Amino acid sequence: MNESRYNESRYDEIFKRLVKTAYRGNVSEEIEKIRDGDSITDQYLLYASGGGDPNTVVFKVRDCGGRCAAGKDNCEASCLFDAIVRDMEGNVIIAPNSCTGCGKCVEVCEHYSLVDKKEFVPLVKLLKDRTMPVFAIIAPAFIGQFGPAVTPGKMRAALKRLGFYGMVEVALFADILTLKEALEFDRHVTREEDFMLTSMCCPIWVSMVKRVYQNLVPHISPSVSPMVACGRGVKHLHPGAKVVFIGPCIAKKAEAKEIDIKDAVDAVITFRELEQIFEVVGINPAELEEDESEHSSTAGRIYAGTGGVSRAISDTLNRLRPDRKIKIRAIQADGVQDCRKMLKDVLEGHIGGNFLEGMGCNGGCVGGPKAIIDPADGRKFVEEYGKEAGSLTPVDNKYVMELLKRLGIHDVHDFLDSSKAAMFIRDFGQVEQANRYSSDRL
Ligand code: SF4
């Protein structure tokens, strides 16, 4: 086993031991057993148990001495935000004010010297004691990740066995935000030269626009991500509940901690972490009985693949405004390099469409760093699940409309009323209203 794989498995093994003993009620003793005075083990132990700075996601566990092969992608090269610098010995220093917690450096670190914190162990007591409801909200990319036999109903049953009160598919809230984004497009793209950047889904895309391509901030739609909408929705319907997001993404761990939206989600775990949790507590989701199912539309279910957001919003806009002259002409980019190129092109005036969607990972969330299966297979599962939906768009989905009423939205146009749709709005803060998306402002 090479050093990197060894370190990865050591971090994962420590995590698994902690989860197992947390469910047995003797995690403190296990921590003392694992602690061996070796600084790397102790660092892995700290972050596997959810310790360290509560506002930070990516941590350095040791000095690497700059051992990465020259010319290879390494942490510095992967960082979009110039958050990684080296000291005189070549050791990595993470600049806290520049780091967005996107996790790209963790993905490429050959020596597992950089890790993302695991947030599950502190939750186990809450899940076991059941003194308050803890909901799992699961990303649209989950379908197929845990094997073809693991349906949404079986996944819900498995999560309940872990102690969750229930599971909500984030796709349901992607449906809701699809409506909002379609209306935002309708409001702001009124001339051929106008365009809009969707703010949905991907925190890496949003951070790129906010930090690197600030001139484009006026064009970004003022919406929270489906994860945040879902967390807020669950808490609105179940006051006092805690919410845990499950997805293929490290960057979502950081998004959940952002100051203006940190009310929504209390912890984030990844698909790979969940797979390990099931393994150590002896749950095989495929063998469980189906639990009740949900009713998201095709629109919300296809978000996990590149182009899914654009397609969902375009279908919904056509349904809401069939006679609209200016249709959505979507352009998409996936992977950091392509997102960069698209944003640079737009800044230089080469705008090939009027609706821009970017996803930080190749293939979209099905290609996320903590996905379990091959991205092509993930995409296939997501597309099939999308086709199985009972409705193409949220407009035709009576369950979505019913849910919206329970959240205080009685008419789709309420989405444009900030007093009624506050839980879905994110103020990116730098621009005035009227010609917010006008290309004149570049
Ligand atoms: Fe996370 Fe990648 Fe999906 Fe962006 S594209 S939300 S970084 S998994």
pLDDT digits (tens, 9 = 90+) for 258-311: 999 999 999 999 999 999 999 999 999 999 999 877 677 787 777 777 788 888
Q: Which CATH superfamily is domain 125-431 in?
A: Fe-only Hydrogenase (Larger Subunit); Chain L, domain 3 (3.40.950.10)
Q: Is 369 helix (H, G, I), strand (E, B) or coil?
A: coil
As a whole number, mean pLDDT of residues 16-21 equals 98
- pLDDT over 70 (residue 4): no
The two domains 3-118 and 125-431 share their CATH topology (first three levels equal): no
H or E segment at 243?
strand 242-247
CATH number of 3-118: 3.30.70.20
Q: Determine the distance separating the centroid of ligand 1 and the alpha carbon of 202, expressed in angstroms.
A: 5
Q: Determine the distance separating the centroid of ligand 1 and the alpha carbon of 249, expressed in angstroms.
A: 6
- What per-residue confidence (pLDDT) applies to 308? 81
Confidence bin at 3 (pLDDT 50/70/90): low
Residue 339 to residue 343: CA distance in whole angstroms:
6
Would you state the structure tokens that stand for residue 74, as one six-digit string?
Answer: 């390494």
The pick from 249, 334, 336, 382 for probing ligand 1's pocket by mutation, whose C-beta has the most ligand atoms within 8 angstroms, reads 249
Task: Tell me which residue has its CA closest to atom 1 in ligand 1.
Answer: 249
- What per-residue confidence (pLDDT) applies to 351? 85
As a whole number, mean pLDDT of residues 227-232 equals 97
The pick from 200, 252, 373 for probing ligand 1's pocket by mutation, whose C-beta has the most ligand atoms within 8 angstroms, reads 252
Q: Determine the distance separating the centroid of ligand 1 and the alpha carbon of 174, expressed in angstroms.
A: 14
Phi/psi-derived region of residue 138, left when phi > 0, alpha when psi is between -120 and 50, beta in every other case = beta
- DSSP-assigned letter for residue 202: -
As a whole number, mean pLDDT of residues 6-25 equals 92
The pick from 271, 272, 359, 370 for probing ligand 1's pocket by mutation, whose C-beta has the most ligand atoms within 8 angstroms, reads 359
Which tens digits make up the pLDDT trace of 62-80?
Answer: 888 777 765 556 888 888 8
Q: Which of 140, 152, 107, 145 has its CA nearest to residue 305?
A: 140
Which ligand 1 atom is the nearest neighbour of the CA of 205?
4
As a whole number, mean pLDDT of residues 362-390 equals 93
Would you state the structure tokens that stand for residue 302, as one six-digit string?
Answer: 């296809």
Residue 408 to residue 426: CA distance in whole angstroms:
18
Would you state the structure tokens that stand for residue 217, as one six-digit string?
Answer: 């901030």
As a whole number, mean pLDDT of residues 86-115 equals 88
Start-to-end CA distance of the chain, whole Å, equals 52
As a whole number, mean pLDDT of residues 338-350 equals 92
Residue 389 to residue 382: CA distance in whole angstroms:
11
Q: What is the mean pLDDT of the chain?
A: 89
Task: Tell me which residue has its CA closest to atom 3 in ligand 1.
Answer: 365
Q: Determine the distance separating the centroid of ligand 1 and the alpha carbon of 21, expressed in angstroms.
A: 31
- What per-residue confidence (pLDDT) applies to 96? 85
Q: Is the CB of residue 15 less than 8 Å from the CB of residue 51?
A: no
Q: Is the CB of residue 35 less than 8 Å from the CB of residue 41?
A: yes
Q: Determine the distance separating the centroid of ligand 1 and the alpha carbon of 194, expressed in angstroms.
A: 27
Which ligand 1 atom is the nearest neighbour of the CA of 364?
5
Task: Tell me which residue has its CA closest to atom 4 in ligand 1.
Answer: 202
Confidence bin at 442 (pLDDT 50/70/90): very low
- DSSP-assigned letter for residue 242: E
Counting residues of the chain whose pLDDT is more than 70, the rounded percentage is 93
- Written as one letter, the residue type at 196 is M
Q: Determine the distance separating the centroid of ligand 1 and the alpha carbon of 27, expressed in angstroms.
A: 32
Counting residues of the chain whose pLDDT is more than 90, the rounded percentage is 67
Pocket of ligand 1 (CB under 6 A): 201-202, 204, 248-249, 251-252, 359-361, 364-365, 368
- What per-residue confidence (pLDDT) applies to 26? 95
The pick from 79, 80, 100, 201 for probing ligand 1's pocket by mutation, whose C-beta has the most ligand atoms within 8 angstroms, reads 201
Q: Determine the distance separating the centroid of ligand 1 and the alpha carbon of 334, expressed in angstroms.
A: 9
- What per-residue confidence (pLDDT) applies to 412? 86
Q: How far is CA 374 from the centre of its chain?
A: 18
Q: Is 135 helix (H, G, I), strand (E, B) or coil?
A: strand
Q: Can you point out the beta strands (E) in 16-170?
A: 58-60, 84-86, 92-94, 114-116, 134-138, 166-169
Residue 17 to residue 391: CA distance in whole angstroms:
44
Q: Which of 108, 123, 105 has its CA nearest to residue 273?
A: 123
Which tens digits make up the pLDDT trace of 396-406?
Answer: 888 889 999 99
Alpha helices of 130-208 — where are they, by DSSP H?
A: 152-162, 170-188, 203-207
- DSSP-assigned letter for residue 220: B
Q: Is the CB of residue 172 less than 8 Å from the CB of residue 141?
A: no
Domain boundaries of the chain, sorted by first residue: 3-118, 125-431
Kindly report the number of other CB atoms within 10 A of residue 441's CB atom: 14
pTM for this one?
0.93
Residue 217 to residue 442: CA distance in whole angstroms:
10
Which tens digits make up the pLDDT trace of 135-178?
Answer: 999 999 999 999 999 999 999 999 999 999 999 999 999 999 99
Residue 191 to residue 290: CA distance in whole angstroms:
49
- pLDDT over 50 (residue 437): no
